[in-house]
Amino acid sequence: MPKKRRKLNKDFERKIYSSKKNVELVLAKIYDIDDEEIQKEYMGAFNKVVYLYEQIKDDYELIGFNYNSEDLMANYYKAFDLFKSEFEI
C-alpha cells in the first residue's frame, strides 16, 4: 500500500519558519541573561512556547497541513504573546 502524501501549504510553512526564528531569538536573549535565577525563570515560562512550536513543526512534518494546523498555530501565537506581555525581553 503506497504511503499517503502529506498536504503542503506554503503560507503555513512561512509561519513555521517565522516562528522558528522568533523562538531562536528569544532563546538567545534568555541565554544572554547573566543572573542564573532570572534565566531559569524566563526559561521556565518560555518552555511552553517552545513546546508548542515543536508540536506545530512535528505535526506538519508528519501529517502536513490539516484541520488542526491553524489551531496549533493560534495556540502558539497566544502563548508567545502572553510570554511577551509578562516578561520583558
**Phi, psi of 64, rounded to the nearest 5 degrees:** 95, -170
C-alpha cell at 8: 503542503
pTM over 0.75: yes
> Which sequence spans correspond to the domains of the chain?
10-86
87 sits in the region (left: phi over 0; alpha: psi -120 to 50; else beta) called beta
Q: 47-79 pLDDT, tens per residue?
A: 999 999 999 999 999 999 998 999 999 999 999
What's the chain's average pLDDT?
93
- Given a cut of 80, whether residue 3 has pLDDT beyond it is no
